[in-house]
Chains A and B, each alone.
Chain A
Amino acid sequence: MKEFNLDQEEIRGLNQHLHDMPSTDPNGSVTVTNPAGKHALAVGIDTPAEVTIEGHVGYYCAGMNQQATVHINGNAGPGLAENMMSGKVIVSGNASQYCGATAHGGLLVIRGDASSRCGISMKGVDIVVGGNVGHMSAFMAQTGRLVVCGDAGAALGDSIYEARLYVRGSVANLGADCIEKEMGEEHLQEVTELLEAAGMTDCKASDFRRYGSARQLYHFNIDNAY
């Protein structure tokens, strides 16, 4: 196992090491200490490595991740796991704005709260948040699933496309074209699987409500323009 102490080593060395790891090696692991809120840690990885960051991270940690599992034992700054393609990113604390933005795949787990615009323009990622999410979460969300074990802030799912949203607590209000939908068996199953994958088995799928697109904005209509 390789260790990077960012008190003494540069971010560039960490990321280059991660990029140089073979893309098919399942045994790679890296531990990062003293991240001290630094930005762009563990970005652009394309290997099934296990990366553990001991402390708080700044912007864009695990950005564009492919294959790797990144554990952050602390809080994460804005843009966590932005545009992630695959793999897993797990934060023990809270995440700042736009975590999981535009992410195409993989699983993002926030054990604490996620701030505003969580899952903005998500394109296939699964996001599970143990606490609450801020306003404008899942804005223009295209595909993928967002599970919120706490409450959701204002304008949830504004201008949403085909992403599926599940919230256990209250929703301050829904954004344009986002409506509550029936919770069927397949949805209960889906939430159960996502909670299990995120290790949040103390929540029951039956406590969640489902939200998605009314599909009224899919074709321009002058009566929707105001």
Chain B
Amino acid sequence: MSSNRNDDWLRDSHTFSKPVIAEIQRAAREGIYDIRGFGAKRHIPTFDDLVFLGASMSRYPLEGYRETCDTSVTLGTRFAKKPIELKIPVTIAGMSFGALSAQAKEALGRGASEVGTSTTTGDGGMTPEERGHSDMLVYQLLPSRYGMNPDDLRKADAIEIVVGQGAKPGGGGMLLGQKISARVAKMRHLPEGIDQRSACRHPDWTGPDDLEIKIQELREITDWEKPIYIKVGASRVYFDTMLAVKAGADVVVVDGMQGGTAATQEVFIENVGIPTLPAVRMAVAALKEAGMHRKVQLIVSGGIRTGADVAKALALGADAVSIGSAAMIAMGDNSPELDDEYRKIGSASGYYDDWHAGRDPSGISTQDPELAKNLDPRIAGRRLANYLRVLTLEAQTIARACGKSHVHNLEPEDMVALTVEAAAMSGLPLAGTDWVPGRNGY
């Protein structure tokens, strides 16, 4: 059979690329926006665009195996009677029982506790497994208030008021019916199997002045013992941080757009919010302007993957970082050993992001009891602890190379930017120059 077709003449459109065409076709076929888990996948400026300068003639480094490089962090020193003492500057971000299996929540607690850091509840409340296996547990107060009760509030080591999330600043939540098991439904006071909507605004306060009074109430209920965090999705970070300080936060958590989610619209994940890189600088600038840097602690999250990311966030002025997606991957999510299983459900290891669908063969983002059995909380907890240790060792390695005896001694002066965009966003000079875009009239 002859054909005039010659593939050499086929030309891809940049505007209408194959994925764009496929999405238009899918939308026309299904009539619903694409919902998925994970964080932003598009290319954005990240900590990869920064490098450390390391010791040189004018700075001297610390020996890797002999000289101490402290990694401890204290959170909640402003008002709380019982601040949280972490051994490492990496915490586990809020992920709900509902989005994750009970086994996964237990594994998070085991892994975090093994290395002396905290884990965080999520929408849906606190499970006994999670409390029992987490030495330090942060209890989230979310707009839905699913599972919120004063007994668990008193059991928590800290309280995190969630105003927003990096994957969807301004958005609420959606837990699809297939993950609303009998237990999840009971904890949330909802009928089993329905699509569960989480509100995007808190039901009993509006704006920072109200929030200040809300915080007063939470402190009174818990006798001023617990540190109170305010978590915001990175958007107007400078003002949000200022207002969080004004409202009385002990700790501000800023979550960049790379931050993961269990289920959000793709259009939201990729197009709302700003990257973690500029968000850190903006938050630190606000804390310094308010005279509260290091007095109100800053936790940064969203796309933290390596000890280098940890070190860079701290060098820009954060007190700690938080991980969610990376913790799931460390526990076994997207494992190549499960590639066949992922392919059976139309994905592949390294690509799986349908965390909302409840069919996760790793047993992490599911409520299916059979799938959940695939995750051994002891093994997954150990893998998470290993990963947290590596993050910490890597951050220490960099800090020592910069001559720092505590990871908090890292400073912006230790870094330069590799791209003009990263220089502008981070406020660091472009490598090989003293040029910071936007400063001194340039």
User: Does any Cβ of B come within 8 Å of A2's Cβ?
Assistant: no
The answer to whether B31 and A120 have CB atoms under 8 Å apart is: no
CB neighbours (8 Å) of B144 from chain A are 121
Please give me the residue from chain A that is nearest to B154 by CB atom.
A44
The answer to whether B195 and A40 have CB atoms under 8 Å apart is: no
The answer to whether B191 and A161 have CB atoms under 8 Å apart is: yes
Q: Complex Cα distance A78/B217, Å?
A: 12
Contact A104-B204, Cβ < 8 Å, known A59-B213, A64-B153: no
CB neighbours (8 Å) of A19 from chain B are 223
Please give me the residue from chain A that is nearest to B146 by CB atom.
A123
Cross-chain pairs A/B with CB under 8 angstroms, 25 sampled: A12-B220, A15-B221, A15-B223, A16-B223, A40-B220, A44-B153, A59-B210, A59-B217, A60-B213, A64-B153, A79-B205, A82-B203, A83-B145, A83-B150, A85-B150, A97-B204, A102-B145, A102-B204, A121-B203, A123-B145, A140-B199, A142-B189, A218-B177, A219-B177, A219-B195
CB neighbours (8 Å) of A218 from chain B are 177, 191, 194-195
Interface string of B134-155 (1 = CB under 8 A from A): 0000000000110011100100
User: Does any Cβ of B come within 8 Å of A174's Cβ?
Assistant: no
User: Does any Cβ of B come within 8 Å of A98's Cβ?
Assistant: yes
The answer to whether B217 and A162 have CB atoms under 8 Å apart is: no
Size bracket, chain B contacts:
20 to 34
CB neighbours (8 Å) of A159 from chain B are 197
- Of residues 151 to 170 in A, which have CB atoms within 8 Å of B's CB atoms? 159, 161-162
Give which listed residue, B31, B148, B217, contacts A40 with CB less than 8 A. Answer: B217
Shortest Cβ distance from residue A61 to the other chain B in the assembled complex, whole angstroms: 9
Q: Complex Cα distance A39/B218, Å?
A: 11
CB neighbours (8 Å) of B191 from chain A are 161-162, 218
Q: Which residues of A contact B (CB under 8 A)?
A: 11-12, 15-16, 19, 39-40, 43-44, 46, 58-60, 63-64, 66, 78-79, 82-83, 85, 97-98, 101-102, 104, 117, 120-121, 123-124, 139-140, 142-143, 159, 161-162, 218-220, 222
Q: Which of A58, A59, A117 has the most CB of B within 10 A?
A: A59
Q: Complex Cα distance A101/B205, Å?
A: 10
Shortest Cβ distance from residue B263 to the other chain A in the assembled complex, whole angstroms: 11
User: Does any Cβ of A come within 8 Å of B119's Cβ?
Assistant: no
Q: Complex Cα distance A15/B216, Å?
A: 12
CB neighbours (8 Å) of A124 from chain B are 189
Shortest Cβ distance from residue B232 to the other chain A in the assembled complex, whole angstroms: 21
Give which listed residue, B194, B195, B203, B213, contacts A102 with CB less than 8 A. Answer: B203
Contact A64-B221, Cβ < 8 Å, known A59-B210, A218-B191: yes
The answer to whether B204 and A222 have CB atoms under 8 Å apart is: no
- Of residues 209 to 248 in B, which have CB atoms within 8 Å of A's CB atoms? 210, 213-214, 216-217, 220-224
Give which listed residue, A43, A58, A101, A220, contacts B204 with CB less than 8 A. Answer: A101
The answer to whether B189 and A120 have CB atoms under 8 Å apart is: no
The answer to whether A83 and B148 have CB atoms under 8 Å apart is: yes
Shortest Cβ distance from residue B45 to the other chain A in the assembled complex, whole angstroms: 34
Please give me the residue from chain B that is nearest to A159 by CB atom.
B197
CB neighbours (8 Å) of A97 from chain B are 204
Please give me the residue from chain B that is nearest to A84 by CB atom.
B150
User: Does any Cβ of A come within 8 Å of B32's Cβ?
Assistant: yes
Give which listed residue, A66, A117, A219, contacts B194 with CB less than 8 A. Answer: A219
CB neighbours (8 Å) of B148 from chain A are 83, 102
The answer to whether A83 and B220 have CB atoms under 8 Å apart is: no
User: Does any Cβ of A come within 8 Å of B190's Cβ?
Assistant: yes
Please give me the residue from chain B that is nearest to A18 by CB atom.
B220
Shortest Cβ distance from residue B345 to the other chain A in the assembled complex, whole angstroms: 20
The answer to whether A85 and B203 have CB atoms under 8 Å apart is: no
Shortest Cβ distance from residue A78 to the other chain B in the assembled complex, whole angstroms: 7
Contact A98-B203, Cβ < 8 Å, known A161-B190, A218-B194: yes
Q: Complex Cα distance A59/B205, Å?
A: 10
In the A-B complex, list the 5 residue pairs whose CB atoms are closest, starting with the nearest: A44-B221, A102-B145, A218-B194, A64-B150, A79-B204
The answer to whether B217 and A222 have CB atoms under 8 Å apart is: no
The answer to whether B32 and A222 have CB atoms under 8 Å apart is: yes
CB neighbours (8 Å) of B222 from chain A are 44
The answer to whether B213 and A82 have CB atoms under 8 Å apart is: no
Give which listed residue, A12, A59, A222, contacts B31 with CB less than 8 A. Answer: A222
CB neighbours (8 Å) of A161 from chain B are 190-191, 194
CB neighbours (8 Å) of B190 from chain A are 142, 161
Q: Complex Cα distance A101/B199, Å?
A: 13
Instruction: Beyond A16-B223, A83-B145, A220-B32, list 16 extra A-B contacts (CB 8 Å).
Output: A15-B220, A39-B213, A39-B217, A43-B220, A59-B214, A59-B217, A66-B150, A79-B204, A79-B214, A82-B204, A83-B149, A98-B204, A117-B203, A161-B190, A218-B177, A220-B176
